[in-house]
Amino acid sequence: MSDNNNGVTAETVKKIARLSRLHVQEDRLAHLADEMNGILAWIEQLGEVDVEGVEPMTSAVEMPAPMRADVITDGGVRDKVLANAPKSEAGYFVVPRSVE
């Protein structure tokens, strides 16, 4: 698949890896290009599906979303949250200074 002019090439994978700041071994580039082309082929197949008249879904099983009152609170669990902090003071997380 990596021979396809419209597909992903080993050179494209190398560029993507560099932009993503990932190190990819040279001997893996062609294999990754083939995998990416396979994924793109599946995406193209999905584009061929006729979805005319199909309503969008948020779940495979229709059920109402649980609703709660839209009230602003502090959550009431400060002490539970701070219990896992390495260091806290006066109800706040204490973190090392990062800007001088």
Domain count, the chain: 1
This prediction has a pTM of: 0.49
Domain-embedded: residue 78: no
Residue 35 has a CB neighbour count (10 Å cut-off) of 15
First to last CA, the chain: 53
What are 7-51's pLDDT values in tens digits?
A: 899 999 999 999 999 999 999 999 999 999 999 999 999 999 999
Domain-embedded: residue 98: no
Distances (CA, A) of 13 to 9, 42, 77, 82: 6, 18, 46, 43
Domain-embedded: residue 56: no
Domain with 38 in it:
10-47
Domain-embedded: residue 72: no
Domain-embedded: residue 58: no
What are 67-82's pLDDT values in tens digits?
A: 888 888 878 888 998 9
